[in-house]
Every structure is written in structure tokens, then in C-alpha cells.
Chains A and B, each alone.
Chain A
């Protein structure tokens, strides 16, 4: 089989409708006017869709994945010191190397370093709240950071976001592009958060909740939380079609 035809058969599993949130989730008020009314049109993906931007190691700085140090002024930021680690895999359990991961988060008191955030809680002069890294050859990543605080937000009621970290993940294909949020095991705010609850699938929401892993903690310094990220997988080409 020539290269061109093989590429044309190359394909990827669809986005899983049972897992991702619907666009219209009225308990999350911002979705009401920002959700398309029509379902997205399915078109069979073709060669042109299955590639993605390739990032290089030297695009990144050496402290980009260390939020303790990457905005540090005179003293280190205040808060619970944690490591977030895990793998980026596809649905076939195949590790995805060289995937850019970007994270952003509030500081330990629940305040973002962003002009749009007017919460009373103070900024931490030593904490920016952003990090990025590339996965290694086995799909592994890690960040050092401060556990973010919960914070109130305008959604028409007494709404509090559970502690969370935003994740932007590239994978290897533009079709694998994902933005999501990671939560923390044991947080009572998860079950009453309209954004977390926009996911109408218990197991899917559970997969966003990082788990404490003391075996990866650093003695007398950091405790560790594990969070694996699963992106759409490549479909194998049936052997009989490979002629």
C-alpha cells in the first residue's frame, strides 16, 4: 500500500458524547447564551485534520513547570506545597510524548493574577499561577505548585468553585486538543459546583479528580496528586485493508 492511501485511512476515535459536557448546561449561567443550539455536524476526519503543531523543548524555560519558583520574588509563595503528576495517554493506553501541557490556577487564597479577578482575597507577590511543560517519551509530566484555594463566583447564587487547576493539553493532533479542569480528592464543593456538574457522567467527573499519592510525595516538603489525561485515540487500520 502506498504512503498516500495509508494516510487517508488514518483515523481517530470520535469525541465521546457520553463523557463530555453538553454545551447548554443552564445551572452554569454563562453557558446559556454561549451554547450553539444545533448539534455539531459530523464529518469523517481526513488526513488534513490528523496532524498537529509540534512544540520544541527550547520553546520552554527551565522553571516553566515549577510554579513555586517561576514567579518567586524574595520568599516562596504561601500555601500547601504539592506536586501534580501523571501521564498523557490516548484511549488505546498509548503514551503521548512531547505533548504541551499548560496550567493556570488561583493562589492559595483563591485569587487569580488576572485583571478580571476582583475577589477580596489577596494576591501573593511570589505566585504567578501559570506553568507549562512537555510530556517525556513515556507521556509523563509533573508540576510543582501551591494548592489553589476555593473562591466565590458570580452565577446567580452562593456559588463557590472547588479548588481546581485549569489544564490545556495539545496531544499530537489538532483533533486531540483539550481544555479541562483538575479537582482534588475529598473536596465537598465538587458535588455542588455547576461547572463540575456540567459533566453528566459520574465516572467522567471522577476522572477529573486527582488522587493523593503519598508514594510520590517528597519527604517533609511536597505531597503529590496524580492526574492522568486521556485524549482521543488513533484507530488502527484493519489489516485486510492494508493492501
Chain B
């Protein structure tokens, strides 16, 4: 089969400081004409799995908190399934949406999601991915959306087996991918764009 590409990708540009009006107007109190934001729709009462809260702040090179970013998440349900055009959907939780987004709080910079602890992904009988949540961050000053991946500090035994973490086990700051547990069912995942703690970002 021919793998020749025909067209060139459209280049990215920064989302700028006003992304809220396009993506999540209601969340920041804009009297939008949209009936609802398409955003934080992760959970329903019937959703299976252990409820968790994930939150964090994003820091720039001066260690100042960024308050105008948008964060999107992408994760499997409690049994390790995405709803997908690629997968057979029959195993996925019909009451879980895999995707969510939110803006940082304009005053504090805190972002947070109420979701469920993602399950283990079994790639083959031997290969697994530990519970993890992909994040995508855009903001003024970020020319192209940044992908990073959040793992859980209380899943050490699974993190060791994770196919992605194994590939990058020699990287410095690999701990930047592990969320802290701040209380029961609540995890904190701060993102550092620069500096000693610079978060690992991925070209996936």
C-alpha cells in the first residue's frame, strides 16, 4: 500500500489569551449564545469506577503561575477502554466520555477535573500501560499544544511495567509525570514549562 503523503499539515499557532470565548465561554461567565460548553462532561451517576479529583497549576520560566491556559484530558474508562472508531466499542463504559477540558482559574491558575481512576490498558498478554491520563495544554505564548502524561504515585508496581515509561526510563525528571496524592482520591499534577523541574512533554 502506498504511504505517500499528498498534503502538508496545517501549522499550529498560539491559542492566544482569549481562547475562553471560543472553547469554554460559560465556564468564565461569558453570556454566550451557546446552549452549553462542550467541555467537562466526563462523569455521570452511572459511570463505573473510583471517583477521583485531579488538579494542578502550570508554571512559567519565572515560576509564575499561568492563569490563561486551557487543559484537555484524554483517558480510558475504569476497565481500560476508550470509546473509539478504531476499537470495538462494546467493552467501553457507555457512561464515560474519555475526554474533558477546562481552563485554569483566572484568579488562582488552578485547573481541576472530577473523573475516575483510569484502568490498566492491556496491549498484549505481556504489554501493559499503567493507569494514566493524557493532557494537552494550550495558552498564550505556547505556539503548539503540549502533550504530557500523568501517572499515579500509588501505582508504583504498575508504573514499572508501563511500556511508555520504560522507553523513557533514562530521562531526567521522569518523576515530573507522576502525580502526588494530596488526600484520598485527590491527585495533584503540576506542570513546569521551564526550569529544574521542567515537565517531560511528548511528541506522540
Contacts and interface: CB of A to CB of B under 8 A. Distances in A.
Nearest to A203: B8
User: Main secondary structure on chain B at its contact with chain A?
Assistant: loop
B10 A104 contact: no
B61 A102 contact: no
A114 B9 contact: no
A116 B134 contact: no
Contacts of A239: 1
Given A36-B198, A179-B138, A91 B5 contact: yes
Given A102-B23, A230-B7, A198 B202 contact: no
Interface stretch (B46-54, B109-117, B139-147): B139-147
Given A54-B85, A61-B34, A130 B10 contact: no
Interface in A118-136: 128-130, 132
Given A34-B141, A70-B33, A91-B8, A51 B18 contact: no
Contact of A34 (B16, B66, B145): B66
Given A34-B66, A103-B22, A207 B8 contact: yes
Interface residues of B, number: 80
Contact of B99 (A22, A35, A52): A52
Interface of A: 3-4, 7-8, 10, 13-16, 19-23, 25, 28, 30-43, 45-55, 59, 61, 63-64, 70-71, 89-93, 100, 102-104, 112-117, 128-130, 132, 166, 168, 172, 174-175, 177-181, 195-196, 198-199, 201, 203-205, 207-208, 228-233, 235-239
Contacts of A3: 88
B134 A41 contact: no
Contacts of B138: 179
